[in-house]
Structure 1
């Protein structure tokens, strides 16, 4: 498996000096001065759009018990013999439509690297070289384990692990944390680690989200009649079993609407990316936008508050499939509001959260 090339500007330079510990004998070898690490974690990306790259990525993703929690004896034969025989072709086609050809990588990787670079610059201005910033992916490369090991080798004895998901969900936040803890289980000398909680209620995050919507509306030829906040779906069973994701998504929409000062009918919630036979939380975005068109709505906008970076679920699914559903049902104009990505106000929001969570360490 090939590892995507890394932009050296994406992390702070490893300039921690070597020193000899206090009270060490004169012949004690120098060691790396302790530092604090900040590790941003995103969902993941295939290394390429070809069949085998897609199959490796989908196998890792769909074998995760946090994502599909059916018994292995039932799920794995279906996954290995049927789904992974066909799905890589369809997924590869979707990725090819949005692929960053210049860097030969997915937009998610490009954007996460840029977010990391800007957060690193902000933290360097505050803490100098005492804080090292990097990023990892739950699935694919750069892997969580490889980056955690690199940070530890660079002297990070305390690491803040930051899953870039505003709302907590078992298939996103929890599995990212799981992977970090699995790495710690392999280390003889574990760094201390903190995890960043869900941040959908953070005022700075909501301000950035509302600003992105206003900017999209200002740039549109006409004002959209409805803003649909589309979140990645989960089985309804997860909600019944205690996962707070659905409730946090509903609250995010309400807080965004209050920030915007709009009527309840002008900002609505829907969920995308359903698969499998069981019931999922709804309404489903692809059906909901078609229903809006049939109700006479000619212009709608869609925003994705659960995604910190644009990816295949936003650039391909929303801006192509869901858009097509709305237009086919009689809609006339469709406005996609980009994810917050590496916007300055988003980076400022992430930096503010990191500063708070580093309390006592820096």
Structure 2
């Protein structure tokens, strides 16, 4: 009896999978509804028992929110798609070039939407990646971001007969390379303005207050990033938290409220940056750069500037390369 034919086994390779949050496939209500259904059904994101939450999600939120969110996405949508997806793809391309001589395959995936984590992991395994570094692009650890990205990867691994070896990128909220890249990017952005901001706001994505009480280190990580960033810049920064959702108490102070309060109390010139986002997205380009500006000016402010994320700029890519090489130590063949 002859043994069955098997496809050839590729030569062993190392892979890096960049993971970001996700985005709708298009800026229309149908695509947004599909995306929100997946995102808001994640037990890591909404920690309300499904029996209580799903009727609210399906009966109210998914009937009303998609149209409003689609309008917001349409204001920032690019020719090459969602800013978050497009820029994450550019990061992966840039890092692929930097790791080309090392023989490391760099790919990217989204926790919600496309390209899906499971699909890209299986594709990397088919390419011969027997060792894969999962790299959630969240500097500050949070169960609703870092942990759920890893959960999705581990769920895929659970269905694999031949699993690759796996490492995960730790949070890098206080990594010297991260703080230095942020400080340089912000300093360049501030120098390019035609006004001198009286305040520099450092806005992070908000989380429910209860996550802090439950032991999530996110709030502490944000505070340390802001403190280190202020020291590196040699100026005072004001930390805030954006993107509240629902009726629960969220981390404070809230970005939108702080913008209005500062303007009402006499601040006329302000700049804002969002260091917790690895790339610009809906929450930075629409919520901060558009609505944040409107809030500040309407309350009496005069000059407002949003400073972009590190994105796929050389400094940001070099920072990611630094972190990835650190985590790949021992896997990559030394020169």
Same fold (TM over 0.5): yes
- The Cα of 1:200 is off from its aligned counterpart by 1.3
1:13 maps to: none
Secondary structure at the counterpart of residue 291 of structure 1: helix
Q: CA deviation at 1:30?
A: 3.5
Q: Name 2:84's counterpart in structure 1.
A: 108
Matched, 1:207 2:177: no
Over the aligned positions, Cα root-mean-square deviation in angstroms equals 1.3
Which residue in the other structure is 2:262 paired with? 292
Q: What's the offset of the Cα at 1:356?
A: 0.9
* Residue-by-residue CA offset, 1:10-47 (whole Å, 9 max, x unaligned): xxxxxxxxxxxxxxx9x986421010110000000101
Q: Deviations over 1:262-313 (max 9, x none)?
A: 2xxx311000000111111100000001111112110100000100000000
Say whether residues 1:257 and 2:230 are aligned partners. Answer: yes
**Counterpart Cα distance in 1 of 2:157 and 2:9:** 21
Which residues of 2 match residues 1-362 of structure 1 at below 5 A?
30-100=8-78, 102-103=79-80, 105-125=81-101, 127=102, 129=103, 131-262=104-235, 266-362=236-332
**CA shift in 2, pair 1:28/1:82, >3 Å:** closer
Q: Secondary structure at the match of 1:31?
A: coil
Residue 359 of structure 1: how far off its partner (Å) = 1.1
Q: Which runs of 5+ in 2 are unaligned?
A: none
- Consecutive unaligned residues of structure 1, counting only runs of 5 or more, are 1-24
Distance in 1, Cα, partners of 2:229 & 2:87:
23
Using the size of structure 2 for normalisation, the TM-score is 0.96
In structure 1, C-alpha distance between the alignment counterparts of 2:189 and 2:196, rounded to whole Å? 10
Q: Separation in 2 of the partners of 1:191 and 1:184?
A: 8
3-state SS of paired residue (1:32): coil
How far apart, CA to CA, are the structure 2 residues paired with 1:88 and 1:107? 18
Distance 1:321 1:29, change over 3 A: closer
Q: Any idea what the Cα deviations from partners look like across 1:173-222, whole Å, max 9, x if unmatched?
A: 01101100010011111111110000111111111101111111111111
* Equivalent-residue separation in structure 1 for 2:8 and 2:168 (angstroms): 31
Q: What per-residue deviation string (whole Å, max 9, x for no partner) do you get for residues 105-155 of structure 1? A: 101111001111111111114x1x2x1110000000000000000000000
Q: Distance in 2 between matches of 1:139 and 1:290?
A: 33
Aligned pair count reads 329
